[in-house]
């Protein structure tokens, strides 16, 4: 795919999503994904860049890195919105980008959105603190059931006797 050619053919505005993370080897990266509607009214998206990040993770540094990508692909005037998590550095990044886009590219419509899934995750995790002991007990039970083939087999038999559909024990994922 010729990325610059694809981007040049975008008929309208684009939205971006971005996230910062640190890999297990302590290398940090900033991702940038583009979202747009093509000429056939089909929603498209693809990873625009993964930026290695060896400097301090400030909002200004992240905004500068993103702005460099936008300028490289002539997207500064087409950028409608950025969606990120709720990290203070990402909020600062979006605020700085809004200023830069307005001053340098007369882009007055840029908006920052906080990822609804991230907001919901934060709310659920906070609510789960009230029932943390119960959750720990259920996780412990699920771990035990998954590790014990004998107990798991007995659970299957009990489900058959009670005419209940057997579902394999699953551990939740904290995020």
* Domain assignments of the chain as residue spans, ordered by start: 3-114, 124-161
pLDDT at 163: 95
pLDDT at 20: 93
Tens of pLDDT along the chain (175 residues)? Answer: 688 999 999 999 999 999 999 998 999 999 999 999 999 999 999 999 999 999 999 999 999 999 999 999 999 999 999 999 989 999 999 999 999 999 888 888 999 999 888 888 888 888 888 887 888 888 888 888 888 889 988 999 999 999 999 988 888 776 5
- Distance, in Å, from the CA atom of 59 to the CA atom of 167, rounded to the nearest integer, reads 46
pLDDT at 1: 67
- Beta strands (DSSP E) in the chain are 14-22, 28-37, 43-53, 79-84, 111-114
Tell me the backbone φ, ψ of residue 81, rounded to 5 degrees: -155, 160
**Cβ atoms within 10 Å of 97's Cβ, excluding its own:** 26
In sequence order, the 6+-apart residues with CB closer than 8 A to the CB of 155 are 145, 166, 169
- Distance, in Å, from the CA atom of 124 to the CA atom of 152, rounded to the nearest integer, reads 30
- Distance, in Å, from the CA atom of 73 to the CA atom of 95, rounded to the nearest integer, reads 21
Cut 0.75: pTM above it: no
CATH fold label, 3-114 = Nucleotidyltransferase; domain 5 (3.30.420)
pLDDT at 169: 82
If we measure between CA atoms, which residue out of 74, 52, 64 comes closest to residue 97? Answer: 64
pLDDT at 35: 97
pLDDT at 71: 95
pLDDT at 38: 93
Q: Parallel, antiparallel, or unpaired: how do β-strands 43-53 and 14-22 relate?
A: unpaired
């Amino acid at each position: 795919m010729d990325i610059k050619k694809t981007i040049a053919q975008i008929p309208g505005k684009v939205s971006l999503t971005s996230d910062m993370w640190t890999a297990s080897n302590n290398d940090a990266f900033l991702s940038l994904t583009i979202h747009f509607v093509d000429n056939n009214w089909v929603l498209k998206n693809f990873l625009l860049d993964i930026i290695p990040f060896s400097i301090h993770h400030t909002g200004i540094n992240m905004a500068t890195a993103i702005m460099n990508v936008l300028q490289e692909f002539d997207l500064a005037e087409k950028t409608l919105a950025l969606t990120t998590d709720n990290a203070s550095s990402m909020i600062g990044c979006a605020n700085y980008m809004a200023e830069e886009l307005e001053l340098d590219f007369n882009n007055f419509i840029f908006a920052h959105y906080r990822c609804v899934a991230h907001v919901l995750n934060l709310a659920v995790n906070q609510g789960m603190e009230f029932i943390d002991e119960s959750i720990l007990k259920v996780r412990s039970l699920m771990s035990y059931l998954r590790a014990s083939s004998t107990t798991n087999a007995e659970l299957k038999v009990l489900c058959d006797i009670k005419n209940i559909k057997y579902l394999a024990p699953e551990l939740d994922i904290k995020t």
